[in-house]
Structures are given as C-alpha cells and as structure tokens.
Structure 1
Amino acid sequence: MTQPTTTIPLVDMQGVRERDPQSLTRAGEAIRRACTEVGFFYIVNHSLPQTVIDDAMQAAQAFFAEPLERKTEVAVNKRHRGFHRRGGATMYQATRPDEKEFFGFGLDLAEDDPSVLAGEALRGPNQWPGFMPELQRAMDSYFLEVGRCGADLLRAVAVSLEIDPEFFVAKYTKPLQRTQAVYYPVQPDDRPADQFGVAPHTDYGCITLLYQDAIGGLQVRELGSERWIDAPFIEGSLVVNVGDLLARWSNDRFRSTLHRVINTSGRERYSIATFYDPDYGARVDPVDLGVSVDEARYPPVAAGDYILGRIDASMSYRKTAAS
C-alpha cells in the first residue's frame, strides 16, 4: 500500500519494548527531532496488535450506530466515564461545541479501592452498556495493550530528554490513563468557519496515542511554520503528540501542539484516543527532569489536579454540575 505524503515524522519503535539500548537511542533521537520541529509524530512497530485495534473499532462503530436514547443509558458520570453526546465539549477559546460523540473509560477501580476512597477525582469503575457486552470486551483489551505501548513510548521519551529511561515508571504505578472512542458525523462543505469536529486545542496530559481510520480530517499546527498540515492515516501506525503536562514537565523543551479535526470527507469518521497520563498525585516538576530551580518555568503540580482543572473547563456537563 502506498503511504500518503506527510511532513510528520515516523518513529520506529522496533526493539524498544525489549529495552534494546540501540533501539531506545534511535527512537529517542527521532522523538526529540519530532517534538522540537513539528510537534507530532507517528509510531510504527509499536506492538499494539492490529486484531485488538480492529475489534475495538468495530465495537465502537456498532455502539455509535445505536439510537441516542440507548447510548444515553450510559451517559457520562462525574468520573468522566461513559457516553458524551454531541455538543457536550467546547474547547477553550472555541465559539461552538465540537461536532462529535465519544465514549470514555479509564482504569477500572472498585469503589473500595484506596484511590477511590481517598477521593481522587476521575477514579472508580467504568460504566458499560448492558445491551452491548462486546464493547467492554473489546475496549478492555485495547486499554491494556495501548497502555503497554504508552509505557514503551515513555522510555523512549525519557531518552529523548536525556534522563533515565525508567524515570516515568515510578510515576505510572496507577496511571490516570483515559481512552475515548470518538465518532465524527459528516460535516457539510458549507459549515460555518468556526465549526469543527474538534476545535483547535492542545491536549491536557502527558502523551496522547491515537488510532484513526482512513477517512482523514486530523490537522496539526506545525511548530516551525505555524501552518496547518494534514496528519493522514498511515497503515500500521499510531499518531502521537505531547500534551500540556509533558510540555510543562520538560520546561517547554517539548511543546504541546495545536491540532483539530474537520470532517468534510462525506463519510463518518472514527478514532480511538488514549491519554496516557501519570498517577493522580504524581509530582510534575521541571527540576526533576534536569533543569535548575532558577531555570524552571513552572512550579510543581500534581498531575491529576492539573488534568481535572482542564477537563472541568472544557466539558459542559462538569460546568453544569459545578453551578
């Protein structure tokens, strides 16, 4: 299959899971270039099985095809788990809500889990539609495998930042990993200029791993030129970007990058995004990544508190709950 032309780099992850030093060095150098020159990159040979991806995408499509009244049986709850209907998310500085639906889930913790009992926001059990047990089976498998991929990736990210490859491991003992299956309806060609599938935004957390279908529509604001460039589907790849939390942690050596979705393909679009973020209480401090106190641009912050604040500012259901 002929791959599309793009200026977004491809990073080969072959050998990273096995901790091969040469592979880690190669991937780390490629990530450093990608994160300082473009702001996005693809990963290939990432060890996320295609069968797991296909099962998750098929289950997501079946769920989103259900009538709205059925999907709202698992409407989003205070833990940010469940179905978000169209119009429920407005990115900061956007003038219109996003034209998308999504179903979110995270690390499945029982009500008596210590993190839940301690009152950590966003923690707790997932909620799944009783009418579609295959959705839980497929997404549980995807969640597990993409989390392994995220852990591999952070080892290479650590090398790219010239710190111990295992630095992030202690920060991810109970990660605030969140995965969303996303549905984008067709947007007409004559849509308002300020109407997007997802409006321009940066992600809140550490790293995002995205599987997208072949429909297209993802665009990236290139760091070097500040022009919008397409991030087309590339077979066998995941799309990766730095979030605001890692930008902060790296003292802006890596910057989070604006991106958006405009679906004018005439077809429905689907993707699965995973926000692979640290433990709720993980301390995010640029000093820990090798800069001096005087050089640090940001004070320490707990990862979960930062992410929660960003979610609260973007999701209409959370604004309603707080009012």
Structure 2
Amino acid sequence: MQGSGPATPEAVQVAAQLRDAFAGVGVCYIDGHRIHAERQSQLLQQAQGFFDLPQSTKDSISATASGSLRGYIGIGAESGSDAFEVKEAFSYGFPWSKSVAPRNNLQGPNTWPSPDQLPGFQPAMQELFDDMVEVSLAISGGLSLALGQAFGFLPRLCDAGNTISMMRLFRYFPYHRADDLPCGLAHPDRIGSSPHTDWGFLTLIVQQPGVTGLQVNLGNSWVDVPPVEGTIVVNGGDFLSLISGGVFRSPLHRVVSDGATERLSFVLFYYPNYDAKIPVLDSLRQNLSLFDNQSLGRDPEAVGPSERLMPFGEFISNKWSQVQRSNT
C-alpha cells in the first residue's frame, strides 16, 4: 500500500486507471489480491454449503431477529413494490463480541450456524471479510490520488469503517423458484435484484464463474458484467459520488436470471467511519481539471448543505429505513 510520501509512478498509473473507470462506467475489475481464483472457488463451495442447510436452521439465525441486519435473509424478504426479488442471503461483518455494547445501530455481533453444522465456515468467512476490507482501503488510496489528494485522504474517512461494513452472501434463483412461495405467487414481476445504486462508499463483488447475472446501466441500456476468473468487481456508491463532487459515478445496476441457473456471489458493502461527513465540495472543484472524462455522476449542485454535513452513519441508516420488506 502507498505510504505517506510522494506517489510512486506505479501508484499514479493505477490512480489514472481508477479515475477513468469510476468517472466513466463506475465499475472495474481488480486483480493482484489474495482472493485468487482457487480460493474463490473454495469460498463459493462453502457458501453453497450454507444455503443448502435446512430452512429451519437458516431461519433460526434470522437477520431480522438480530436487530443489526446480520444473519439469514429469506427469499423475497427485501423485495420492493415493483418486483419480487428471487434471492436469499446471509449477512455478517466485523466480529463484535456479544459482551461489548454496540456504539451505533450498524454495529452488533454476527450470527453464525453451528460449527457442527458447517465446519470451517465462520473462520473462512471472517478471513474473507478482513481481506476484502484491505483491498477496499487500497482502492480508497488510489481514488484519493485520482482526486488530486494525498493517498490517505479517503482512507482517513474510512478509519473504523470496517466495524460497520457489511458482507453478504447471495444465492439468486431462477424466477420460477417463487412459484413455490405464497408471497411469490402474489408478485408476478420477478427479478434477482431490482435496479438500484449502492448507498455506501465502495462495493466489492466476488462472482461465481460461468454465471452472468450482474448488469450495469449505460446510456439507458443494460450491459452484462460477466465474471472474470480471479478478479473482484468494484463499483462506487452514492457516498463516494458525493465526496468526489460527482466526479465518480454511483452506477445503476441490477441482477437478472437466465431462467435456469442459480448464481452465488459475495458482496462487501464497504463503509467509511460512522461519523464521517461529506467534505465541502468546493474544496474538490479545483481538482476537476484533472479529469478528461466529462461523464459525471450525480450533479454536486443537487446536493443540499444538510446532506453534505450529515454523518455517514445517519445517511446510511436513513437509507436502510426505506427498504421495503415483504414476506407476505
């Protein structure tokens, strides 16, 4: 990782590549990390093992019961009003002890299946979380250089952000899987994940090889983001777009089914510090001349002063409160 001294030529080159990707499409592939192809395959097998547990076992570690969005999320449990999302998930994060009182509503202990039911699952997932956080910090430093700032500019905003960041394992089903569910029958329109932008800072995705489902919206067209062996897909979130004054995109994306194949993925929603505030955007405008790409994301002028000064934790908690859950 780049230190506090002058940026190396290699770091400047990577920063330029990140600038082009995040200011243009808002999505890129990352390699050169410890989460190599063989390890990804092993992790996906462990995720499959979790989802293959009896439904009663998964329901016993419900995220709803945890109070901190950590645990199992059933099929369709986060569907919006437009379509039934034919997926299930498992959510976890920083390993908070049950004896330590959370400092905010985004912290809390993880809920795991019994080691007897799924040997090795918890330590493997926790190690993956730590490694994905490390990758996120490195990307944050590169994006700082891309904004004409010191390498540590964005990583400083992310200090202790790992304590509220969230990893999710997803299993997406062919849409006909909802035919077996009363709640699915009530929703004829179905999708894997509805079109949305991510609310946070960075999103890192490990995709199952050979199964394409992730799509990004470009020029009002949906374009596949296929899995590439050994890579991690990274996209920017709304908070990053706000921090950058709209330079970096928070791309609209969705997940669809090919109608026949299940799809697994790991997704890290990497957050800054709970108390981090969006810097005054005027301080970044002087650096916008560094960017040749004029396809900017959200218009900075559309961001009100109150939103600029809102702590991230409040920002993201307000967003989560708007999620519509329907289990009926």
For the criterion TM > 0.5, the same-fold answer is yes
What's 1:182 paired with?
170
What's 1:195 paired with?
190
What's 1:221 paired with?
217
The answer to whether 1:278 aligns with 2:272 is yes
The answer to whether 1:209 aligns with 2:209 is no
Distance in 2 between residues matched to 1:256 and 1:18, nearest whole Å:
25
What secondary structure sits across from 1:290 in the alignment? helix
2:72 aligned to 80, 83, 90, which one?
83
The alignment covers a number of residue pairs equal to: 294
Q: Which moved more, 1:24-33 or 1:78-87?
A: 24-33
Q: Structure 1 54/301 Cα, relative in aligned 2: closer, same or farther at 3 Å?
A: same
Q: Structure 1 21/47 Cα, relative in aligned 2: closer, same or farther at 3 Å?
A: farther
**C-alpha deviation, 1:311, in angstroms:** 1.5
**C-alpha deviation, 1:113, in angstroms:** 4.1
**C-alpha deviation, 1:280, in angstroms:** 1.0
**C-alpha deviation, 1:203, in angstroms:** 0.5
**C-alpha deviation, 1:124, in angstroms:** 1.5
**C-alpha deviation, 1:111, in angstroms:** 4.3
Letter in 2 for 1:216: T
2:140 aligned to 154, 172, 176, which one?
154
**C-alpha deviation, 1:236, in angstroms:** 1.7
1:125 aligned to 84, 97, 109, which one?
109
What secondary structure sits across from 1:284 in the alignment? coil
Q: Residues 250 and 289 of structure 1 are in contact (CA less than 8 Å); yes or no, is this contact kept in structure 2?
A: no
Q: Residues 280 and 304 of structure 1 are in contact (CA less than 8 Å); yes or no, is this contact kept in structure 2?
A: yes
Distance in 2 between residues matched to 1:313 and 1:230, nearest whole Å:
28
- 1:46-80 CA-to-partner distances (Å, cap 9, x unmatched) read 34344543332121100101221111111002101
**C-alpha deviation, 1:87, in angstroms:** 0.9
The answer to whether 1:99 aligns with 2:94 is no
Q: Residues 36 and 231 of structure 2 are in contact (CA less than 8 Å); yes or no, is this contact kept in structure 1?
A: no
**Structure 2 unaligned residues grouped into runs of 5+:** 180-186, 287-299
Distance in 1 between residues matched to 2:10 and 2:285, nearest whole Å:
26
What's 1:23 paired with?
10
Q: Structure 1 140/315 Cα, relative in aligned 2: closer, same or farther at 3 Å?
A: farther
* Mapping 1:131-146, distance limit 5 Å: 131-146=117-132
Q: Residues 82 and 127 of structure 1 are in contact (CA less than 8 Å); yes or no, is this contact kept in structure 2?
A: yes
The answer to whether 1:257 aligns with 2:251 is yes
What's 1:73 paired with?
60
- 1:93-113 CA-to-partner distances (Å, cap 9, x unmatched) read x51231110100011222454
Q: Structure 1 106/81 Cα, relative in aligned 2: closer, same or farther at 3 Å?
A: same
Q: Residues 217 and 263 of structure 1 are in contact (CA less than 8 Å); yes or no, is this contact kept in structure 2?
A: yes
Q: Residues 2 and 141 of structure 2 are in contact (CA less than 8 Å); yes or no, is this contact kept in structure 1?
A: no
Distance in 2 between residues matched to 1:285 and 1:132, nearest whole Å:
44
The answer to whether 1:244 aligns with 2:238 is yes
- 1:284-306 CA-to-partner distances (Å, cap 9, x unmatched) read 234385248xx763421111111
Letter in 1 for 2:239: L
What secondary structure sits across from 1:152 in the alignment? helix
Q: Residues 212 and 225 of structure 2 are in contact (CA less than 8 Å); yes or no, is this contact kept in structure 1?
A: yes
Q: Residues 183 and 270 of structure 1 are in contact (CA less than 8 Å); yes or no, is this contact kept in structure 2?
A: yes
Percentage of identical aligned residues: 27
Distance in 2 between residues matched to 1:286 and 1:233, nearest whole Å:
37
Distance in 2 between residues matched to 1:51 and 1:217, nearest whole Å:
21
The answer to whether 1:303 aligns with 2:308 is no
**C-alpha deviation, 1:188, in angstroms:** 4.9
Distance in 2 between residues matched to 1:300 and 1:288, nearest whole Å:
13
Letter in 2 for 1:217: G
Letter in 2 for 1:303: F
Letter in 2 for 1:138: A
Task: Provide the alpha-carbon RMSD of the alignment.
Answer: 2.6
What secondary structure sits across from 2:10 in the alignment? helix
Distance in 2 between residues matched to 1:233 and 1:51, nearest whole Å:
14
* Runs of 4+ more than 6 Å apart: none
Letter in 1 for 2:195: P
